Amino acid sequence: MSNSKVVYEGWMVRYGRRKIGRSFIHMRYFVLESRLLAYYKRKPQDNVVPIKTLVIDGNCRVEDRGLKTQQGLMVYVLLIYNKKEKYHRMTMAAFNIQEALIWKEKIESVIDQHQESLAANGNKYQSFEYKSGMDSGRNASSSDQESQYSAAEDEDDSNPSLLRRTTIGNGPPESILDWTQESSTLASQNATNQAISRKHWRLLQCQNGLRIFEELLEVDFLPKSCSRAMKASGVVEASCEEVFELIMSMDGTRSEWDCSFQDGSLVEEVDGHTAILYHRLQLDWFPTFVWPRDLCYVRYWRRNDDGSYVVLFCSREHENCGPQPGYVRAHIESGGFNISPLKARNGRPRTQVQHLMQIDLKGWGVGYVSSFQQHCLLQMLNSVAGLREYFGQTDGRTVPPRIPVMVNMASCNLPSKETHKNQMTSIHDRNQSLDNAAKMMDEYSDEDEDFQIPDEEAYRVEQEMKRAEVVQEEAIVEMDLSCFSGNLRRNDNESGRDCWRISDGNNFRVRSKRFCYDKSKMPGGKHLMDLVAVDWFKDTKRMDHVARRPGCAAQVAAEKGHFSMVFNLQVPGSTNYSMVFYFVTKELIPGSLVQRFVDGDDEFRNSRMKLIPSVPKGSWIVRQSVGSTPCLLGKAVDCNYIRGANYLEVDVDIGSSTVANGVLGLVVGAITSLVVDMAFLVQANTIDELPERLIGAVRVSHLELSSAIVPKLEPDTS
């Protein structure tokens, strides 16, 4: 060891795969000094040489890689790397999330000291606080600071003097929507927020020390067999981390607090915050006559900066987890846990746990006996009471949490050579996915492109921004839109289905002209371009460069001398889908941000193309997963730009991102019940570019997959 002051030290986990394919998991002794992070095989003495070291300075970042499963053990992974030298990195993990959070805090404090030292010496070092939510004061997610589509943009900084590093982790979206605010208000004393909560939920009953609520929101086409969403709320005397770790495990300990749990296993680990699980339910409603139920579902989790945790469930089909003999496959419409810290009482930590479920249990019993559904749902929700009693009667877990890996689920019911072959393929694919996740390169956020302005320029900037705003307003000219058409019909009726309409720009918030001073935002206002048509295509292969199709809106606009921007959102799968939006203007304003984007290179385009999503109507898990945080498309997924004579087409390959693809599975599975808003814009990064303006915005309502058509595309000669 060196003579530098030791900031923190202790045993942590190193894991991975050897070149010959076998996995390993070791305990290593990590030592954090004021300028160095190192680990050793044993606790170091005298001048022992470490196995590996990493120099810590103001350019370092701590990235939370989330949860990984290695040899059946769950570990929480941190990646420390140098921003200037991306390949200078070190990975460490912990069996419990508390230890991982302590290390993360200690390493960040060392980085803070280096940045403060640089600032004290007169060297400006730009740091950022990574936030989520749109000017609403919502909590950011420190474990998953990236939306499913991209690195989220920098948002309001409530404490500008606080030095924080960007934390970018793969997983579910970070934006916190109404359901989490509603959840937190059940423990809040804020009267206004409580009113919001009561608007959406009705207290159904009190049972086993829990409050059971029923959702009051209207749901279109709710199956007869599917109950409304219900949630149980209770208080557990344990820390959020202890409750979270218990909920995430699927070993024998789970049956000690979840009376509906029989067994479970890991089907596929998508990334650090996403996994596909198989789960057998143990329901006590006339088990002699009613077949048992099982589930195959995707599970998302994240940690918020206020110390709360969110765990989300939604059913999903998986090729390695088909229907099992003797079981009825139930379907989770939405579900999950919200784990929030409360003030300690008598020196003991307290946590509010909310468990929400909306499930279709399938089978004949659901349709004929109405009490079956509610009885089983209440049994599952009672797991919150089980958590309370578990921690009340034990000192918590004494062994690392585990989750069995599914290696013989099919063979126990269908023994055959073919089944064994499929299992081996499943194991290989899962191991390959773990390898790919470990090798995943770091994604960039747009924080580095932020800017600062000297105070003495304020007046001049103010006047320039006013003049620019007037010019942009005058440039919006009305056009005759009757000559444009697409195969997806337009319907301005609020209750329309399988259609689109123009979304009000004021539903979206964009950077204001004073964003550089106070990070303020404003309503999007008028669109710069007109949305004239929407096409909904399908094909066996990915559809690129759709603007070349004769007779499409972009070609019609070109014939009239107009300019088009075409956004082709490509949805992968056994059948490939494309949602194509055509935005048209009479001409581009020379020197404008949009014109510079159109004629710029791909690097500039990738750094500026922004999407603001929103799901005003849809299931709880989809609204939470999609979120409403602005994202830079080019930094999250692969974007291909085709510059035609009178158009620019942006092909957005959503399947190129594991995170985006995971969320997309939720959206496609419930697409007929969703209303989705999307706004497209070019991000403004400098004074003369502010305020931001929307290229356009669209609302797509209750889309039907069957309404997509196969386009006639000529061979692409470009």
Q: Please provide the average confidence, as pLDDT, over all residues in the chain.
A: 76
Identify the band that residue 460 occupies on the pLDDT scale cut at 50, 70 and 90.
very low
| pLDDT single digits (tens) 183-195 | 444 444 343 333 3
Q: Which residues pair with 76 in a beta bridge?
A: 67, 94
Q: What region, left, alpha or beta, does residue 603 occupy, with left being phi > 0 and alpha being psi -120 to 50 degrees?
A: alpha
Torsion sign, CA atoms 114, 117, 118, 119 = positive
- What's the pLDDT score for residue 143? 39
pLDDT surpasses 60 at 426: no
**Angstrom distance (rounded) from CA 608 to CA 618:** 29
pLDDT surpasses 80 at 152: no
Q: Helix crossing, 240-248 with 383-393: angle to 10°?
A: 120
| Helices marked H in 121-216 | 178-185, 191-200
Q: Which residue, among 340, 269, 285, has the nearest Cα to 75 in the 3D structure?
A: 269
| pLDDT single digits (tens) 637-662 | 899 999 999 999 999 998 887 767 76
| pLDDT single digits (tens) 91-148 | 999 988 888 889 999 999 999 888 888 777 766 544 433 333 333 333 444 433 333 3
pLDDT surpasses 80 at 454: no
- What's the pLDDT score for residue 168? 33
* CB neighbourhood size of 423 (10 A): 17
Pairing of strands 530-539, 293-303: unpaired
Query: CA torsion 251→252→256→258, rounded to 10°?
Result: 50
- What's the pLDDT score for residue 302? 84
3 state SS for 298-352: EEEEEECCCCCEEEEEEECCCCCCCCCCCCEECEEEEEEEEEEEEEEECCEEEEE
CB 146 within 8 A of CB 443: yes
Q: 13-17, 370-374, 473-477, 588-592 — which one is most confidently predicted on average?
A: 588-592
pLDDT surpasses 90 at 566: yes
Q: Which residue has the higher pLDDT, 124 or 263?
A: 263
- State pTM to two decimals: 0.50
